Amino acid sequence: MKLLVTGGAGFIGSNFIRHVLHAHPDDRVVNLDKLTYAGNPANLVDVEGDPRYSFVHGDICDAKCVRDAARGVDAVVNFAACTHVDRSLVEPDEFLRTDVSGVFTLLEAVRDLKIPRLLHVSTDEVYGSIAHGSSTEQDPLHPSNPYSASKAGGDLLALAYWHTHGVPVVITRSSNNFGPYQYPEKVVPLFVTNALDDTPLPLYGDGRNVRDWLYVLDNCAAIDLVLRRGRDGEIYNIGGGHEVENIVLTREILRLTARPDTLIRPVADRPGHDRRYSVDSTKIRQLGWAPRHPFASALETTVRWYREHETWWRPLKSGEFRAWYERQYGNR
């Protein structure tokens, strides 16, 4: 199988490319990435010399670029997205451009080139906060911030192209991912690297918000399974099955980094902060998937990775990141 992976230089995308090249020796991968602040060529330096892998620098909103890269592939897997809720509160236009218009451009290319499959990677955040139980694929969408609204828009557009034009799309909606190569604006790498530097960990509100944590390699395996065995026009939730309050996560990171709880710095909550996410993963489990990495050991592995790869993350926490961090947390 020849794949076009969009956004493959990002966190989940780079881990997925590495997974595919390892799990499927006959597959080939074309990686189309704009290389925004969170897209990092260093994420895939270990596969650059693989003859089955090639890189194209481009934007999924550029129709010609997308068509040129997609010509002759068997499937498109779309990871390209703006994904950080905090940034969506101050830069919503870029989220709408990439997460909605970019999906439109991909759908048009898949339709025109008659590509057999488009797998669109989405998020559990489109369901909105849920006080009890877990969201199923049939539940209505209640996005509550520009990020989740833009992702919901992309999802609905993809499903509309399936229903109207028969474009063969499948959608995955995963819970919160963590693991190696995650840009350090997200809570796990931010708190791990701050702790390693003995820098305060800015914890929103009362710290009681709940997220279901999924190790990135388990998500990659699930996406790969849906790519090859999922049914056209269907949605598949992918949950880690391990719900944790943010304050508990924070204390566990401090324990694993041998740092004191006094590094926790409560800050004003962000606007519209969803209280709890939870998805029902029964449907994908029926395809034969289950997470293989228990949360505790996966978090320990992740902390160890950041500890051992300071040369990867430290350059990322300067320049643009430093300016954003000061704006985001300096006056809270």
Look up residue 218 and give its two tokens: 């388990």
Q: Within 13 A of 84's CA, how many CA atoms are on the CB side?
A: 21
Is the pLDDT confidence value at 89 over 90?
A: yes
Task: Provide the pLDDT confidence category of residue 296 given band limits of 50, 70 and 90.
Answer: very high
pLDDT, tens digit, 9 for 90 and up, residues 14-47: 999 999 999 999 999 999 999 999 999 999 999 9
Closest CA to 196 of 237, 254, 266: 254
Mean pLDDT of the chain: 97
Domain boundaries, the chain: 2-177+214-238
CB 226 within 8 A of CB 284: yes
What mean pLDDT comes out for the span 103-109? 98
What's the CA gap between 134 and 83, in Å, rounded?
A: 22
pLDDT of residue 308: 98
Rg (alpha carbons) of the chain, rounded to whole number: 19
Catalytic (active-site) positions: 124-125, 147
pLDDT of residue 332: 78
CA dist 285 → 165, 226, 288 (Å)? 29, 11, 5
> Judging by beta carbons within 10 Å of its beta carbon (0-12, 13-18, 19+), is residue 69 exposed, middle or buried?
buried
pLDDT, tens digit, 9 for 90 and up, residues 216-237: 999 999 999 999 999 999 999 9
pLDDT of residue 331: 79
What's the CA gap between 93 and 97, in Å, rounded?
A: 6
Mapped onto helix, strand or coil, the DSSP state of residue 187 is helix
What's the CA gap between 112 and 167, in Å, rounded?
A: 10
Q: What share of the chain is helix, strand, coil (3-state, %, to 5)?
A: 45, 20, 35
Those residues whose C-beta lies under 8 Å from the C-beta of residue 140, and which sit 6 or more positions away, are: none
pLDDT of residue 60: 98
The proportion of the chain whose per-residue pLDDT surpasses 70, expressed as a percent, equals 100
The proportion of the chain whose per-residue pLDDT surpasses 90, expressed as a percent, equals 98
pLDDT of residue 320: 87
What mean pLDDT comes out for the span 108-117? 98
Mapped onto helix, strand or coil, the DSSP state of residue 155 is helix
What's the CA gap between 163 and 169, in Å, rounded?
A: 10
Those residues whose C-beta lies under 8 Å from the C-beta of residue 120, and which sit 6 or more positions away, are: 78, 103, 106, 154, 155, 158, 169, 170, 171, 172
E strand map for the chain: 2-6, 28-33, 53-57, 75-78, 118-123, 169-174, 176-178, 201-204, 210-215, 235-238, 243-245, 264-267
What's the CA gap between 197 and 200, in Å, rounded?
A: 9
Total H helices, total E strands in the chain:
13, 12
pLDDT, tens digit, 9 for 90 and up, residues 159-197: 999 999 999 999 999 999 999 999 999 999 999 999 999
C-alpha triplet 37, 33, 27: angle, nearest 5°: 135
Is the pLDDT confidence value at 87 over 90?
A: yes
Mapped onto helix, strand or coil, the DSSP state of residue 196 is helix
Least confident of 56-70, 115-129, 238-252, 310-324: 310-324
CB 134 within 8 A of CB 185: no
pLDDT of residue 330: 84
What's the CA gap between 297 and 293, in Å, rounded?
A: 7
Task: Provide the pLDDT confidence category of residue 319 given band limits of 50, 70 and 90.
Answer: confident
What mean pLDDT comes out for the span 130-154? 97
Mapped onto helix, strand or coil, the DSSP state of residue 71 is coil
Please state which CATH number belongs to domain 2-177+214-238: 3.40.50.720
What's the CA gap between 264 and 107, in Å, rounded?
A: 44
Is the pLDDT confidence value at 155 over 90?
A: yes
